[in-house]
């Protein structure tokens, strides 16, 4: 009797410890084997190695959005400023007043864009404004897996990628190659 209880307790602890892992595995397997049109194909998906999930919080998301916005803003400002400089050089070399006016109009339009863009800042989704910075929005997990693609005569491939899952870990949003 006691032996049966011990075996049952060990089996139960193994099942509960694998529960989270299998939830992530299922979400990733479904995502990998489903194409953009929603068609599922059996690719004989097998996990070789799965890392621990990393939480993506509101704070992380805000930092990422801000960094991306600032980067795009800087690129756009640089492009506009280069255009202004080019038009000024061209205007100085120009002899026709009509062309000088055209260049000046281009300079003025680009300068107005620079002035406007310089005043902008990142606009965060309303859901972030009242959310605690520690609120988990998603999970990122690295997974090394194998698939057998039927289009390649079932040749096995081993792939390591990062996956972004929802906060519960049961639905995959996207995947991207693992950065080294």
Per-residue pLDDT tens digits for 71-128: 999 999 999 999 999 999 999 998 999 999 999 999 999 999 999 999 999 998 888 8
Is there a domain that residue 94 lies in?
yes
Which residues fall within 8 angstroms of residue 167, CB to CB, at 6 or more apart? 136, 137, 138, 139
Strand bridging mode 54-57 / 136-149: antiparallel
Residue 67 lies in a domain: yes
For residue 118, what are the CA distances in angstroms to 71, 80, 105? 13, 11, 20
Establish if 71 belongs to a structural domain. Answer: yes
75 belongs to a structural domain? yes
The total number of structural domains that make up the chain: 1
Is pTM beyond 0.75 here? no
pLDDT tens figures, 39-78: 998 899 999 999 999 999 999 999 999 999 999 999 999 9
pLDDT reported for residue 129: 83
Tell me which residue of 14, 12, 49 sits closest to 28, measured CA to CA: 49
150 band by pLDDT with thresholds 50, 70 and 90: confident
Contact between residue 41 and residue 32 where contact means Cβ atoms under 8 Å apart: no
Residue 167 lies in a domain: no
Mode of pairing for the β-strands spanning 155-166 and 54-57:
unpaired
Q: What percentage of the chain reaches a pLDDT higher than 90?
A: 74
Residue 93 lies in a domain: yes
Position 18 pLDDT exceeds 50? no
The answer to whether residue 109 is domain-embedded is yes
* pLDDT band, very low/low/confident/very high, at 5 (cuts 50, 70, 90): very low
Asked, for residue 17, whether it belongs to a domain, the answer is no
Which residues span the domain enclosing 114? 58-129
Residue with tokens 């801000």: 66
């Amino acid at each position: 009797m006691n032996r049966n209880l011990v075996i049952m307790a060990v089996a139960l602890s193994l099942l509960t410890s694998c529960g989270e892992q299998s939830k992530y595995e299922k979400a990733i397997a479904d995502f990998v084997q489903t194409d953009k049109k929603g068609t599922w194909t059996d690719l004989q998906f097998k996990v070789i190695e799965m890392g621990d999930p990393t939480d993506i919080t509101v704070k992380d998301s805000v930092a990422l959005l801000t960094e991306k916005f600032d980067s795009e803003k800087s690129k756009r400002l640089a492009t506009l400023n280069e255009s202004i400089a080019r038009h000024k050089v061209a205007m100085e070399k120009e002899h026709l007043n009509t062309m000088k006016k055209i260049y000046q109009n281009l300079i003025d339009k680009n300068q107005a864009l620079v002035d406007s863009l310089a005043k902008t800042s990142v606009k965060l989704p309303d859901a972030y404004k009242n959310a605690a910075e520690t609120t988990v929005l998603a999970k990122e997990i690295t997974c090394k897996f194998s698939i057998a693609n039927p289009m390649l005569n079932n040749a096995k491939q081993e792939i390591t990628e990062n996956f972004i899952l929802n906060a519960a870990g049961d639905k995959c949003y996207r995947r991207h190659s693992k950065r080294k």
